[in-house]
Amino acid sequence: MALAEPIPPTGDGRRGGYDHQANVQKESDTVRHMLAQDGFEQWSPDPSLLPPQAPAGASMDELLSAVPRASGIAWLAFGNSGATEMLLNWVHHVIALRKGQRWLRVPAYKYSGALPPVHFRGTPFLFHRMGFLKAMTIKEVLLSGRHVLVSDSDVAWAKDPTAELAALAAAGASIAPSTDCLDAAADADKTPRGASPFMCGHSPGNTAGAVFNTGVIFLAASNSTVAFCERWARWTLKLETWWSDDQGVFNRLLTARGFYPVRAASSDGRLVHGPDGLVLGPLPARRFCSGHMVWMQQAGAAGECASVHATFTEFGDAGKRWRFLEAGLWGALPARYFTEGRFLSFAPPKPPPDPRPCRDGEGLWRPGGPVPRPCGGEDASHGLGGKRPGGVPAEEARRRSVRLRANLELMRRQLHALRDALALAYVLNRTLVLPHFDCLCDRSELVDYVPSCVYPGAPPGLTFPRKCSTHFVLNIHKLQYFLEPARYAASAPWTTRKPAPPLSLRAHSFLADPRTASAITDAPQRVRVLGRPPPVDEAHWPVSRCSAPHDRTCSSVLGAGDAAFDPATAALGAGDGEPAAPGALSLRRGATNREVLRLLDAPAVRSARLVTLDDAEGAFGGWESDFEQAAGFANLESFFLLGGDWCCSSREANVGRLYPVDPPRLRVPARGS
């Protein structure tokens, strides 16, 4: 049926990249290559934890023979060979929950010819086909009398939810979808009320705003869910718009007819009435977690989450992979990833306190109360009048939000520290372990969140500073190009005879991961960086040192008179004011490559598996020898490190982005040195 549907004509947005197959293949290969970095190909699951392999052409009953009828839950995930890496990460986590032997079935079906063997997210009509096939497969499993737990391949399962899902089914739930609600306190409150925070409008009494996410759905086996899946499949296949997908259809089917005002279907309000006799049990945001819940609200920790869906993440699958790495949830890695190598880590710049926090009691959810208003972040002296709804130019956002200005200043310092740490790792031939950076402002392409800096729909009282992804400092997909620069910059105008060699990276969670060898973490060599960072003024940080696009400029460094300026933080390096660790070495701030090698590549230090700097901001000044290495790193810095931005106060062209000033240039010796 999917193949019988005509391919959209030329000019139809649903074709996406279909007419440019070479580009589609190249993009697919790039994405898959990034997902497979760090030895992914060497990972394989423990065969003893897997079920017997079903023969080719096995029936649905044969595939599900280990899942009991009437009460069993079949776990499903979907993807094609262009998303194998994400699917195998899903497999890793399901196996870790000891679900492999009885419940796991990968693949469930092979739809020959319906989908190409490439990453086709940018070709909407093919994505519509996949949505159709997914819904029809769920229908087939339901017809066998088994319940279904279906999740996208970019979901990591941290805990087993089967007991709570079985309880929902026993209470009468037909469909229990996850949601995009970002306020867990509001989500847990089932007090009848007319309104809830943005994307949380599924509680009793709500008159608008429910946003269900098909990334995780539980469906109980019943005639009504079978009929729903049939409608869901056919409507998705017949979509006439490029910007919608199976999730959009899912939401329209559930909420377009008679859903509002939301009516409770249980005494505790956890179940609500849906259309056509369906009973919905929206899954708790605290347990079935969005990316924002984990990355931003829980400092990268899974916490109470049973599942973590890599939503609210920029930079596509490369960004999702890095977020999973930071959270310790990218599991499909070989043992040698955690046992081999020599490493360098550093403490990131200390953030200032929140320059404009919410007042006591502001921004907090109160059961049954009104939706709290945004609070904090606004510069009382901006003189711009009231902000209009929607987007504003970035410079206006910068004037309005003292939090945003403080965040840009912190980004400038973080980028400087990261650049210098990368250079030190490059000189020492060590793998760099990135720190867990801080931020004072969220990122969002839903632009109406200035001046508070809190993502739309998240708890308005969210406090700053807080731990954030490396993605908040620079374009994370480009940073990952350091692992194989010759591949990702094949056409770059290298200024040396050959492209720069690779530089390996680890996310901050690596040092706390139980799989990491104790020989790496038990006895680090600590290094204290001596001397003050460069003065914060326009003589040392000229706006002309700027890698923003040609139509934009970089934000000036903060002056002492700015409300966002924190003199105490500006005067300190990350390790200042703290006693030196016993046995710590001392490195001059602004050291050259020769000084670094003399101190940190001496035999006694070279044998240390981990060298950790108490600070890296201005720690490296450049090369006094080895032109090839210096120029090679300058290429890497230019192509892969600089040019990142804060996003976004507007979606109009490029006017909603702000760029920190680039770090001071590193010294490059004369050619031939």
Helix, coil or strand: residue 433:
strand
Mean pLDDT of 514-519: 96
Residues 203, 78, single domain; the answer is yes
Lowest-pLDDT choice from 291-300, 338-347, 487-496, 553-562: 487-496
CB 417 within 8 A of CB 617: yes
The CA distance from 59 to 517, in Å, is 44
How large a percentage of the chain has pLDDT more than 70? 93
Residue 185 pLDDT > 70, yes or no?
Answer: yes
Cα–Cα distance, 395 to 658 (Å, whole number): 8
Q: Write down how long the chain is.
A: 673
Look at residue 528 and tell me whether its pLDDT is greater than 90: yes
- Cβ contact 344:433 at 8 Å: yes
pLDDT tier at 654 (50, 70, 90 boundaries)? confident
Same-domain check for residues 340 and 268: no
Burial class (CB in 10 A: 0-12, 13-18, 19+), 227: middle
- Average pLDDT of every residue of the chain: 90
- The per-residue pLDDT for range 566-609, each reduced to its tens digit, is 888 766 555 555 667 788 999 999 999 999 999 999 999 999 99
Contacts of 358 (CB under 8 A, 6+ apart): 375, 376, 460, 461
Distance of CA 433 to the CA centre of its chain: 18
Binning pLDDT at 50, 70 and 90, where does residue 31 land? confident
For residue 139, the model assigns a pLDDT of 96
pLDDT score for 10: 83
> Are the CB atoms for 133 and 114 separated by under 8 Å?
yes
Query: Which of the 8 DSSP states describes residue 3?
Result: T
Q: Are residues 268 and 382 in the same domain?
A: no
Positions of E strands within 327-459: 343-346, 431-433, 438-439
Q: Is the same domain home to 245 and 103?
A: yes
CB 244 within 8 A of CB 174: no
Number of domains in the chain: 2
250 and 356 in a single domain? The answer is: no
Angle (CA) 385-387-391 rounded to 5° is 145
Q: What angle do CA 392, 394, 398 make, to 5 degrees?
A: 105
Residue with token string 């939401």: 251
The pLDDT score that the predictor gives to residue 30 is 75
CA dist 326 and 312 (Å) reads 15
585 and 444 together in one domain = yes
The number of beta carbons lying within 10 Å of the beta carbon of residue 560 is 9
Angle at 625 between CA 624 and CA 631, to 5 degrees: 95
Nearest CA-CA partner of 345 in 98, 81, 616, 653: 616
Q: Give the separation between CA 238 and CA 499, rounded to whole angstroms.
A: 48
> Tell me: the pLDDT tens digits for 34-90?
777 887 777 888 777 777 777 877 888 888 888 888 889 999 998 777 778 888 899
279 shares its domain with 424: no
Contact 435, 287 (CB under 8 A): no
Where residue 107 falls among pLDDT bands split at 50, 70, 90?
A: very low
User: Bridge-partner residues for 641, per DSSP?
Assistant: none
**Residue 326 covered by a domain:** no
The stretch 522-532 carries a mean pLDDT of 95
Task: Supply the pLDDT for residue 78.
Answer: 85
The whole-angstrom separation of Cα 581 and Cα 578 is 9
* 479 alpha carbon, distance to own chain's centre: 14
**Does some domain include residue 520?**
yes
State yes or no: pLDDT of 296 exceeds 50.
yes
- Cβ-based neighbour number of residue 399 at 10 Å: 19
pLDDT in tens, 108-152: 445 556 677 777 777 888 888 889 999 999 999 999 999 999 999
User: Which of these, 506, 507, 505, 486, lies nearest to 635 by C-alpha position?
Assistant: 486
Paired tokens of 302: 């899974």
More confident residue, 14 or 117: 14
Q: 482-509: buried (b, 16+ CB within 10 Å) or exposed (e) per residue?
A: bbbbeebbeebebebeebbebbbbbbbb
Q: Taking residues 418-425, what's their average pLDDT?
A: 97
- pLDDT, residue 187, reads 98
Contact 669, 625 (CB under 8 A): yes
At 70 the pLDDT is: 83
Tell me if residue 505 falls in helix, strand or coil. Answer: strand
Indicate whether 394 belongs to any domain: yes
CA Rg value for the chain: 26
**Chain centroid offset of residue 406 CA:** 23
Q: What is the pLDDT of residue 7?
A: 80
With respect to residue 319, please indicate whether it lies within any of the assigned structural domains: no
- Band of residue 502 on the pLDDT scale cut at 50, 70, 90: confident
First to last CA, the chain: 67
β-strands 505-506, 431-433 pairing: parallel
Integer angstrom CA distances of residue 383 from 400, 404, 531: 9, 17, 40
The band of 551, judged by pLDDT with boundaries at 50, 70 and 90, is: confident
CA distance 620 to 490: 28
In a domain, 253, yes or no: yes
Secondary structure (3-state) at 423: helix
Same domain (yes/no): 232, 167: yes
Query: Buried (b) or exposed (e) across 109-145, using 16+ Cβ within 10 A?
Result: eebeebbbebbbbbbbbbbbbbbbbbbbbbbbbbebe
Max avg pLDDT among 67-81, 396-410, 570-584, 637-651: 396-410
Most distant CA pair in the chain: distance in Å? 79
Is the domain of 529 the same as that of 616?
A: yes
Q: Is the pLDDT of residue 218 over 70?
A: yes
Mean pLDDT to the nearest integer, 272-296: 97
SS3 state at 311: coil
Q: What is the pLDDT of residue 106?
A: 44
Q: What is the pLDDT of residues 483-498, one digit of tens each?
A: 888 777 655 555 555 6
Residue 401 sits in the same domain as residue 515:
yes
Does 308 map to a domain? no
Q: Which domain holds residue 435?
A: 334-537+581-641
Within a domain: 13: no
Report pTM: 0.93
Residues 401 and 513 in one domain: yes
Task: State the residue for tokens 């040392």.
Answer: 540
Kindly state whether residues 279 and 385 are assigned to the same domain: no
Burial of 462 (0-12, 13-18, 19+ CB in 10 A): buried
Residue 457 has pLDDT above 90, yes or no: yes
Alpha helices (H) in 498-602, listed in sequence order:
518-521, 567-570, 593-600
More confident site: 114 or 217: 217
Burial 366-389 (b: 16+ CB within 10 A, else e): eeeeebbebbbbbbeebeeeebee
Check if the beta carbon of residue 629 is closer than 8 Å to that of residue 424. Answer: no
pLDDT at res. 498: 63
